[in-house]
Amino acid sequence: MVLLQLEGVTKSYMGQQVLRGVYLSISEREFVVVRGRSGAGKTTLMKIMALLLKPDGGRVIYKGINVWSVNNSLRECLRKTIAYIPQFLDLLPNLNVFDNIALPLIARRTKSAVIEERVNEIAVELGIKGFLHRYPNSLSGGERQRVAIARALASSPEILIADEPTAYLDDESSEELYKLINVIRSKRRVAIVIATTELSANIPGADNVYILERGVLRNIS
Ligand SMILES: Nc1ncnc2c1ncn2[C@@H]1O[C@H](COP(=O)(O)OP(=O)(O)O)[C@@H](O)[C@H]1O
Ligand SMILES: [Mg+2]
């Protein structure tokens, strides 16, 4: 079943067209990789998929709904089912790992007993149970990335979008991250989209690999 569709999406900044008509369809549980060099428009595209940025033209259809033609509150409801991990993660340095992961649940007024259970469950799943009480700055890049994924998964999203999750990881940590993505996929009903600049690397488990070049997306898998 198709979850999210982009139909001829365009986006310009100050007269410079970054996306020139992007078509993409993401199905339930699909693992999609978007490759492209720095400045190609990956972050712009990820934010449009996360319903955080409005395109200039074209349509974004999520669960059959034309996202930018409905009212704000409906769009907000739809947005809550998509988790977006920005390139710089945005973990809060003054909160420990537990609280960072709990944040989206607190925002949704989840009961504290449920939060406790949910955070512990995700921490086990992602292998970060050992540092729930540590602070983000004391973690390695790979560990921080796992915490950001845990936080994103806390609200059980239908789509998880990660902007260049391997940008600051060495090869070994990148490999571990891709393994983790495949573990997550085996356990959860979640579609995963990642952006990367790695043009040569083979990404295990990817269902479709696209390249973003000159403002258009091309399937290269
Ligand atoms: N808010 C913005 N204002 C003006 N230009 C922007 C803005 N965001 C991105 N751009 C420009 O759009 C192009 C694509 O940026 P981006 O989507 O961040 O690409 P990528 O993530 O692939 O590096 C770049 O040339 C960038 O400078
Ligand atoms: Mg980017």
- CB distance 3 to 78 below 8 Å: no
Minimal-distance CA residue to ligand 1 atom 2: 13
Which segments of 30-136 does DSSP mark as H helices, in order? Answer: 42-49, 72-79, 97-107, 112-125
- State both tokens at 77: 């409801």
pLDDT attached to residue 201: 67
pLDDT attached to residue 183: 93
Q: Is 43 in the pocket of ligand 1 (CB under 6 A)?
A: yes
DSSP run (H or E) holding 5: strand 2-13
Number of other CB atoms surrounding residue 106 within 10 Å: 12
- For the chain, give the number of residues: 221
Q: Residue for token digits 């700055």?
A: 137
Handedness of CA 31, 37, 41, 44 (dihedral sign): positive
Minimal-distance CA residue to ligand 1 atom 23: 39
One digit per residue, the tens of pLDDT, for the chain of length 221 reads 999 999 999 999 999 999 999 999 999 999 999 999 999 999 999 999 999 999 999 999 999 999 999 999 999 999 999 999 999 999 999 999 999 999 999 988 999 999 999 999 999 999 999 999 999 999 999 999 999 999 999 999 999 999 999 998 998 999 999 999 999 999 999 999 999 998 766 789 999 999 999 999 999 98
Ligand 1 atom at minimum distance from 37 CA: 22
Number of other CB atoms surrounding residue 121 within 10 Å: 14
Q: Is 40 in the pocket of ligand 1 (CB under 6 A)?
A: yes
pLDDT attached to residue 151: 96
Domains of the chain, with CATH numbers? 1-81+158-221 (3.40.50.300), 90-156 (no CATH)
Angle, vertex CA 106, rays to CA 105 and CA 111, nearest 5: 85
